[in-house]
Structure 1
Amino acid sequence: MNESHFKQPELGLVCITASDQVRFKTMTRKRLLQLAPNEQTDALRDLYAQNMKRLDAAITFCEREGVHLYRLISGLFPFADDPIGADVLTEFSEGLAIVGAHAIASGIRLVLHPDQFVVLNSDRPDVIENSIKILTAHARTFDLLGQPQSPWALMNIHGGKGDRAERLVSVIRDLPDTIRLRLTLENDEYAYGANQIAEVCQAAGIPMVFDAHHHAINQHLETYEDPSVAEMLEVAKTTWQNPDWQLVHISNGCESFTDPKHSDYITLMPSSYRYVPWIEIEAKQKERAIAKLREDWLTLGFPSHTTELQPV
């Protein structure tokens, strides 16, 4: 293969910046319920207006920094899965369409990682029902932003409850298209390893987001150059109908290689990640970690071994 033909991976920003340039407002349910009904509506209307503007500012930030992948914060429009929030969000349809068009015109891919409450294979039907309710609200946000019903605008979740793969596949197959066509599954550290989640994705007909750090923890690896990393990356690629949209995650352990807690910067990268199109950078220093990777990793050529970057 001629390595010069490969496009450098796009490095994605996750939710906020290390600086104060990208921040969002929030509100707890306790605080909302302390307000009178009319005050709740007003409070959500103000919060949604603020966060819509801040999302547009986040897109502008990404545009300025040359970042073409941005993960929305899961609490962008809190309580949008409740009737009161859903009604308020409707008021912002026109504004959200403009913000979404800004992202499209800027070539910025918007993705989402719903929170840990989304468990599609729970033993409790009410948990599954609530999970679908949350995903429905997120999908509606993507629709209002004018984003395609495809894995380009993906909603990524974990496998959920262990030893419930069949139930997970069954629930996914029955999801409405607005959710199912955007849904991806990610391997995690403990419940669903890369092999297991790949099998679920293949059975459910949805893409797999491979996380090399989760795989290292799950398999007790000592290096990202273990052959299984490149192998599972290729398996994950086969689940993407459009391989050019394949997304992966990277993080480094804070205190040790397999520490689940994220480090400030990425100082270890799998050499196989040189050939993936999209990488979400899960590091505490956010845009600074992206800038350092661009300087210290993407300018080093295409090594055949783990790139060990110098700490800051």
Structure 2
Amino acid sequence: MRLGFAVKVLGAGGNQTTVDPVSVLKSNDARRWQSEPHVRQSIEYVAEIFHYLYKSDIHMYRMSSDFAPYLTHPDLPQFHHQLTEAASELAELGALARKYDIRLSLHPSQYILLNALDEEVARKSILDLNAQAQILDSMGCGPEAVVVTHVGGVYGEREESLKRFISRYKNLPEATKRRLVVENDDVSFSHSETMKIHEATGCPVIFDNLHHFCLNPEGVSMRDALTAALGTWPESVIPKIHYSSPSTSFDVVETKETGNTGRAKTVQKWKVPPTKAHSDFIDPMEFALFWEAVEGDKRRSFDMMLEAKAKDVALLKLRRDIARQIEFGAMRPIPGF
């Protein structure tokens, strides 16, 4: 099993207990359009990330959806040809990922809605999905490199919204369909509904454990949902799943209140976090129980994308925590972990 994390790299490396903010590695050229950002700069940043991942024995990574800045912006055509302009550099970056055995993925933002009611929103979303797939193609990535998307909005008509996703998916370019996978979410569309999309289109399903915990009206067990999702992937491709722990920390909220003197003052209050919020780290006890629940199944092997706010630091800590349990004899070794 390969473990991975998303986008931001805190860069702790061998420092196991503290993180220096200046060690954070940039993941994309984030300059405003007036400063003429370019994917070439993002390539330089991500190459440094790949070197760091290799040194840290991390072999899966989600690149920023802004890797190629303003690539599909309708009012900034000067950015539309970046992938062609940087073709050789993209190929070199892909070769570096293959050399280091780093599995890559992209996950467009929540504003990418393939099933949108508004045709213009859907059109722009399709352009973005096509561009994300083209990035991975330009890097020469194999079929394990995927573009992850959610179903989108319900818009008061669940079945019609599912049908719109299915219809538009079927009309996507083949190059985009080869990369696209659909993930269950925590608010709108459950695992069972993503399975309906797979049955209608063949689109592979990403299983997300926290989303399944938050939205599972069909009452499908974690193990059964995972097994079903793994079975949607082509036999020649190792599936991947998303794993996270819910936040257990209060959110600090600042509000303005009028005091006894009539003057406004800032007051801090503690707010209970929503269950769907990701924690900074992965709870190792929870992970051990999850693995115990699914490990005995005669299922396919899979890779795991950790969605934790502490990013690579969370991954490295989980590795140490689980290694200790294996050392105690409380868990069997996890291949590739």
**Under TM normalisation by the shorter chain, which class is it?**
0.7 to 0.9
Residue 148 (structure 2) aligns with: 156
Select 2:2's aligned residue among 7, 10, 14.
10
1:1-312 residue pairs with structure 2 within 5 A?
A: 9-19=1-11, 20-27=23-30, 31-32=32-33, 35=34, 43-45=36-38, 48-82=39-73, 83-148=77-142, 150=143, 152-162=144-154, 163=158, 164-219=161-216, 228-242=221-235, 245-255=238-248, 259-267=275-283, 268-269=286-287, 270-271=290-291, 272=293, 274=295, 276-298=301-323, 300-301=325-326
> Shift of residue 300 of structure 1?
3.0
Distance in 2 separating the partners of 1:159 and 1:186? 7
The secondary structure found in structure 1 opposite 2:152 is: coil
Query: What are the ranges of 5 or more consecutive residues in structure 2 without an aligned counterpart?
Result: 12-22, 250-272, 332-337
Query: What are the ranges of 5 or more consecutive residues in structure 1 without an aligned counterpart?
Result: 1-8, 305-312
Distance in 2 separating the partners of 1:209 and 1:195? 12
> Shift of residue 133 of structure 1?
0.6
Query: For the structure 1 residues 59 and 220, does the alpha-carbon distance in structure 2 shift closer, same or farther, using more than 3 Å as the test?
Result: same
**Contact 1:216–1:258, Cα closer than 8 Å, also in 2:** no
Q: Which of structures 1 and 2 has the bigger CA Rg?
A: 2
> Shift of residue 99 of structure 1?
0.7
> Shift of residue 236 of structure 1?
0.4
Query: For the structure 1 residues 155 and 90, does the alpha-carbon distance in structure 2 shift closer, same or farther, using more than 3 Å as the test?
Result: same
> Shift of residue 303 of structure 1?
6.7
Q: When the two structures are superposed, what TM-score results if normalisation uses the length of structure 2?
A: 0.76
> Shift of residue 286 of structure 1?
1.2
**Contact 1:213–1:258, Cα closer than 8 Å, also in 2:** no
> Shift of residue 240 of structure 1?
0.8
Distance in 2 separating the partners of 1:97 and 1:116? 28
The secondary structure found in structure 1 opposite 2:215 is: helix
**Contact 2:27–2:63, Cα closer than 8 Å, also in 1:** no
Q: Which amino acid aligns with 1:131?
A: S
Q: When the two structures are superposed, what TM-score results if normalisation uses the length of structure 1?
A: 0.82
Q: Which amino acid aligns with 2:4?
A: G
Residue 5 (structure 1) aligns with: none
Q: How many residues align structurally?
A: 278
Distance in 2 separating the partners of 1:294 and 1:273? 18
Distance in 2 separating the partners of 1:291 and 1:220? 34
Distance in 2 separating the partners of 1:262 and 1:80? 29
Query: For the structure 1 residues 54 and 259, does the alpha-carbon distance in structure 2 shift closer, same or farther, using more than 3 Å as the test?
Result: same
Q: Which amino acid aligns with 2:98?
A: I
Q: Which amino acid aligns with 2:312?
A: E
Q: Which amino acid aligns with 1:50?
A: Q
**Contact 1:237–1:243, Cα closer than 8 Å, also in 2:** no
The secondary structure found in structure 1 opposite 2:206 is: strand
> Shift of residue 214 of structure 1?
0.5
> Shift of residue 147 of structure 1?
1.5
> Shift of residue 146 of structure 1?
1.2
Q: Which amino acid aligns with 2:148?
A: N
Q: Which amino acid aligns with 1:191?
A: S
> Shift of residue 44 of structure 1?
2.5
Distance in 2 separating the partners of 1:124 and 1:171? 13
